């Protein structure tokens, strides 16, 4: 495609600017759950590779590949790019798994055919004036302890084995070489939400990774996540040139079952730890707009101290249960972003009905097919996002009590003991037990059935969550209007 109307972004003080030096605010959305699948977004239990294996055991390898090919084909098309442009979106964050570009069976061998998925989206979005941030969301060995890097465990092996890190450095050399001259690529997000328990390996790894990318590509902005899920940034020291440091802004009411906003609640995560250690739970807290701002200031302290741009890499809310309260929380976040001139990226674009501005139709073929698993997942609270762990108190309670009595000082990384119990029991054990049942839902399907079902993900078959669509669009419009007036 032509790049005549595009220019490379670059960092200038606390701003991102274009080739004319004009400040650019990024209003983005994550095209998540697609090239890196997530359970709460598309409805399967557990982790992506487990889903693929479960479907393959039922359909066989040929139909399994067709199953996921049709999903990839229908999830994002030219119509989606045009729709996002109509909202004012000027950037997408494109999460992808390393498995599209490299195989565990052939490490360090780049699969050139896998680039076609990235090329397609970059071109479709560029035709609408939308830039793409390339986000490596899953790496070999898992960079953090959760499902969304395709991790079936509660540990991260990426920080243990140097070979995994070497593979990622090698992969990014290839990615940077391919896109170094493409200005529709806004930049590179080389590793999503790293979580190095020691907090000692993440800094040297970033140094090596940045050096490798810059040997190939000096044009593109680097978007770097802090340690412990984009929360801890102080280890970076002096900022690198042409680099943005990206916090992920998830206030506790947005992910805590039973929360009210404004209101008091007790979060499951613990947020004030550093140095690779978990912290004591903060206890019950009152959350309102002032607390949302305080949390944002904590997460962005490094960017403000170093006078670098603030680009919120992710934000959303799957709680409170009241949509009105959820929208109020999101509106308050957007107000805070505006106050501090922060660019933002909403997470994410499409899902089965939790947080996205586009939702699959409830009576569509895909949701009708997987409804039994969605209902069972809700009963068992197996998803961190959207799962209500209170429903499993009869299972979790005795474990929490035994640990409190026998191991009172156990406070594991990254978020403490209560989170770890939920991770191991609900999100791993029960989720894995559901995977065979998920695969069985597709028994007997042929190619025509699969293709028709996967068309549920097409734009025309989705339904907008209109209040959220309006909230995002209105914020973009207001901020652009303000920027125009200020420029005059």
Element (H, E) at 244: strand 243-246
| List 38, 102, 314, 325, catalytic entry | 314
pLDDT tens sequence across 24-67: 999 999 999 999 999 999 999 999 999 999 999 999 999 999 99
Residue 88 to residue 315: CA distance in whole angstroms: 18
Kindly report the pTM of this predicted structure: 0.96
Partners of 227 in the β-ladder? 232
Question: What is the C-alpha separation between 339 and 469, in angstroms, rounded?
Answer: 21
> Nearest CA to 422 among 386, 391, 385, 384?
384
- Predicted local confidence at residue 483, as pLDDT: 82
Q: What is the pLDDT of residues 380-404, one digit of tens each?
A: 999 999 999 999 999 999 999 999 9
CA 166 to CA 160: how far, in whole Å? 12
Q: Nearest CA to 396 among 412, 375, 417?
A: 417
- 142: Cα separation from own chain's centroid: 14
- 302: which 2 tokens? 């490094």
Q: How far is CA 316 from the centre of its chain?
A: 10
- The one catalytic residue in 38, 48, 102, 193 is 193
Quickly count: other Cβ atoms within 10 Å of residue 473's Cβ: 16
> Superfamily for 10-477?
Glycosidases (3.20.20.80)
pLDDT at 284: 76
Q: Residue ranges per domain, the chain?
A: 10-477
Q: Is 103 helix (H, G, I), strand (E, B) or coil?
A: strand
**Are 147 and 427 contacting, i.e. CB atoms less than 8 angstroms apart?**
yes
DSSP class per residue in 398-418: HHHHHHHHH-TT---TTT-HH
Residue 232 pairs in a beta bridge with 227
Distance of alpha carbon 185 from alpha carbon 125, whole angstroms: 10
Per-residue pLDDT of the chain (488 residues; tens, 9 = 90+): 444 578 999 999 999 999 999 999 999 999 999 999 999 999 999 999 999 999 999 999 999 999 999 999 999 999 999 999 999 999 999 999 999 999 999 999 999 999 999 999 999 999 999 999 999 999 999 999 999 999 999 999 999 999 999 999 999 999 999 999 999 999 999 999 999 999 999 999 999 999 999 999 999 999 999 999 999 999 999 999 999 999 999 999 999 999 999 999 877 666 544 444 444 445 678 999 999 999 999 999 999 999 999 999 999 999 999 999 999 999 999 999 999 999 999 999 999 999 999 999 999 999 999 999 999 999 999 999 999 999 999 999 999 999 999 999 999 999 999 999 999 999 999 999 999 999 999 999 999 999 999 999 999 999 999 999 999 999 999 999 988 777 65
User: pLDDT tens digit string along 419-431?
Assistant: 999 999 999 999 9
Neighbours of 330 (CB within 10 A): 24
DSSP lists the bridge partners of residue 246 as 225
> Is 193 noted as a catalytic residue in this protein?
yes
Residue corresponding to tokens 């830039």 = 131
Cβ pair 432, 377 in contact under 8 A: no
pLDDT at residue 5 in the model: 78
Residue 484, judged by CB atoms within 10 A of its CB (0-12, 13-18, 19+), counts as: exposed
Reported as half-sphere exposure (CB side, CA atoms, 13 A), residue 186 has a value of: 27
- Residue 283 has a pLDDT of 63
Is there a catalytic annotation at residue 280? no
């Amino acid at each position: 495609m032509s790049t005549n109307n595009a220019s490379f972004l670059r960092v200038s003080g606390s701003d991102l600017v274009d080739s004319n030096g004009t400040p650019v605010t990024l209003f983005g959305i994550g095209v998540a759950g697609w090239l890196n699948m997530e359970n709460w977004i598309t409805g399967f239990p557990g982790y992506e590779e487990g889903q693929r294996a479960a479907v393959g055991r039922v359909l066989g390898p040929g139909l399994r590949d067709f199953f996921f090919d049709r999903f990839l084909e229908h999830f994002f098309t030219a119509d989606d790019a045009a729709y996002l442009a109509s909202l004012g979106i000027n950037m997408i964050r494109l999460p992808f798994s390393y498995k599209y570009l490299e195989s565990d069976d052939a490490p360090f061998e780049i699969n050139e055919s896998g680039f076609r998925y990235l090329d397609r989206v970059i071109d479709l979005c560029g035709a609408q004036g939308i830039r793409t941030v390339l986000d490596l969301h899953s790496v070999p060995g898992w960079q953090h302890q959760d499902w969304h890097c395709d991790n079936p465990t509660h540990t991260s092996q990426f920080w243990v084995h140097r070979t995994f890190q070497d593979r990622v450095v090698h992969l990014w050399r290839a990615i940077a070489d391919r896109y170094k001259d493409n200005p529709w690529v806004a930049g590179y997000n080389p590793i999503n939400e790293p979580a190095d328990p020691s907090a000692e390996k993440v800094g040297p790894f970033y140094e090596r990774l940045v050096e490798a990318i810059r040997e190939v590509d000096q044009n593109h902005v680097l978007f770097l996540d802090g340690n412990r899920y984009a929360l801890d940034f102080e280890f970076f020291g002096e900022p690198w040139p042409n680099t943005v440091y990206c916090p992920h802004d998830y206030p506790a009411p947005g992910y805590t079952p039973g929360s009210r906003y404004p209101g008091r609640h007790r979060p499951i995560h613990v947020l004030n730890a550093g140095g690779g250690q978990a912290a004591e739970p903060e206890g019950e807290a009152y959350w309102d707009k002032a607390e949302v701002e305080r949390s944002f200031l904590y997460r962005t302290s490094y960017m403000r101290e170093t006078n670098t741009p603030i680009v919120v890499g992710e934000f959303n809310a799957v709680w409170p249960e009241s949509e009105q309260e959820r929208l109020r929380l999101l509106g308050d976040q957007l107000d805070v972003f505006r106050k501090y001139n922060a660019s933002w990226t909403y997470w994410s674009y499409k899902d089965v009905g939790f947080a996205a501005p586009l939702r699959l139709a409830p009576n569509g073929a895909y949701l009708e097919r997987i409804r039994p698993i969605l209902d069972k997942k809700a009963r068992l609270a197996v998803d961190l996002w959207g799962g209500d762990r209170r429903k499993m108190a009869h299972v979790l309670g005795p474990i929490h009590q035994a640990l409190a009595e026998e191991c009172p000082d156990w406070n594991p990384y990254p978020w403490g003991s209560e989170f770890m119990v939920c991770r191991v029991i609900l999100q791993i054990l029960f989720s894995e037990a559901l995977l065979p049942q998920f695969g069985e839902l597709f028994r007997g399907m042929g190619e025509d059935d699969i293709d028709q079902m996967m068309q549920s993900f097409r734009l025309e078959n989705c339904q907008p969550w209109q209040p959220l669509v309006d909230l995002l669009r209105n914020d973009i419009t207001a901020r652009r209007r303000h920027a125009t007036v200020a420029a005059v």
